[in-house]
Amino acid sequence: MSGLPQAPAPGRRIAVIGGGWAGLSAALQASDLGAHVTLLEMAPRLGGRARSLGDGPDALDNGQHILIGAYTQSLALMRRVGVDPDRALLRTRLRLRYPDHDTLTLPGGPPWLAFTRGVLACRAWSWRERLGFLMHSSRWMASGFRCAPSLSVAALTAALPPRVRQDLIDPLCVAALNTPASQASAQVFLRVLKDALFSGPGSADLLLPSQGLSALLPEPARAHLLAAGADLRTARVQALSREGTAWQVHTAQETVSVDAVVLATSSVEAARLTQTLAPDWSARTAAFEFQPIITVYLESPGSSLPAPMVALHESANEPAQFAFDLGQLAQRPGLFSFVISGAAPWVARGLEATADATLAQARRALSWHTPPRLHRVLSEKRATFACTPGLQRPPAALLPGLVAAGDYLEGPYPATLEGAVMSGLAAARSVMR
């Protein structure tokens, strides 16, 4: 009967191109719905931009990722492949702690009450600053956490007390959107605040990985897919074509014929593969600007930070916004990761200069049992799209039997693991109908 949703079609042949978190989510969902899944990933290791580099005790993640309690789809997917989030993630209340003082710490309870109590209890701010922040937050809530699409976060929060902007808004913005407040979309930032702070008890909790990123999803998902009979191949897709109702996936070695394709690559690869199939979509996808993230790993045997995650004040000569104590995260005692989000100015200066500046910042801002020294510097030059005001992102649907998945597609969220997972699940459900 027309107008009713179609039931999933078991036995369909589905190709998922890309083995990041969006592609893995799509492959798992399609497999669970009865599809014969072929997953093609050009890198030797699954996980995309959230994976571990190497194996064994010396493995490092390619960047420091944070989850929050509101990431319900990501947490559910972990459980589906046998990962217990309570063991794999250190869960703490949202607490933005600097080396010398605390700022906002959220207690338990109903979201708005917890937020109000947390702000009023913040002794780092004067009463005038606390009440000013609550007043502006109330206005955001009254507006449904909506604003003009053209507004930047800096413009939205210009009337806030400077210390609130410096201690809270700026670091939260660059952490969530990987875009500095002066350039970041206020509308997307408000949506993040709404879902993180006010969507339910525990939604703002910080979930810090106490295992390598590959152990959170990529490797368990790989084992789950293989056990379900999926075909996992290491190959770069050269082209896509359509013959009748079937799709042809061409690699340098072979052509795979399937009923539908989930295109879960980076936006750059997706634009390349769709240039002739969907030129308008391809052009829109190719137009993204990107923001890099640099992670500087320092080692200092016997040292520890005041908390597993510590916020830092960045400046023209101090690049890092957050530092993580991997010993307190049950990974590697004496190893620390310093994260530089929205790192384009530092990429321009060069990784050596960035590492030197981060090391100097760490020595000034924190206390050490032994002098910290550089361990490794990792850079993701296209870590996320630049989440700017009014950005028009492409839709997921391309052509019959061809659907895209990825955190860059149109939607209310910035580039996050949760956005990637939600997109992959939706793409799989779409091609299975």
pLDDT digits (tens, 9 = 90+) for 372-413: 999 999 999 999 999 999 999 999 999 999 999 999 999 888
What value does the mean pLDDT take over residues 129-155?
Answer: 96
Beta-carbon count within 10 A of 413 CB = 18
- Average pLDDT of the segment spanning 345-361: 97
Residue 223 has pLDDT above 50, yes or no: yes
Comparing 271 with 55, the larger pLDDT belongs to 271
334-348 pLDDT, tens digit per residue, is: 999 999 999 999 999
Give the pLDDT band of residue 144 (cuts 50, 70, 90): very high
- Write the pLDDT tens digit of every residue in 286-302: 999 999 999 999 999 99
d(CA 402, CA 238): 16
pLDDT at 339: 98
Q: What is the pLDDT of residue 426?
A: 97
- Asked which of 182-186, 195-199, 233-237 is least confident by mean pLDDT, the reply is 195-199
What percent of the residues of the chain are helix, what percent strand, and what percent coil, each to the nearest 5? 35, 25, 40
- Decide if pLDDT at 256 tops 90: yes
| pLDDT-above-70 percentage for the chain | 98
Q: Distance from CA of residue 426 to its chain's centroid?
A: 17
The reported pLDDT for the residue numbered 58 is 82
Helix (H, G, I), strand (E, B) or coil at 397: strand
Q: Is the pLDDT of residue 1 over 70?
A: no
Whose CA is closest to 262, among 5, 33, 45, 81?
A: 33
With CA atoms as reference, report the closest residue to 281 among 269, 293, 292, 270: 270
Angle between helices 21-32 and 417-431 (to 10 degrees): 40
Confidence category of residue 176, pLDDT binned at 50, 70, 90:
very high
The alpha carbon dihedral of 122, 139, 422, 17 has a sign of negative
What is the mean predicted confidence (pLDDT) over 345-357?
A: 97
**Which domains are seen in the chain, by residue range?**
13-86+212-288+390-432 (3.50.50.60), 94-204 (no CATH), 290-385 (3.90.660.20)
Contact between 176 and 185 under an 8 Å Cβ cutoff? The reply is: no
Mean pLDDT for the chain overall: 94
* 169 contacts: CB under 8 Å, gap ≥ 6: 153, 157, 160, 181
pLDDT of residue 198: 87
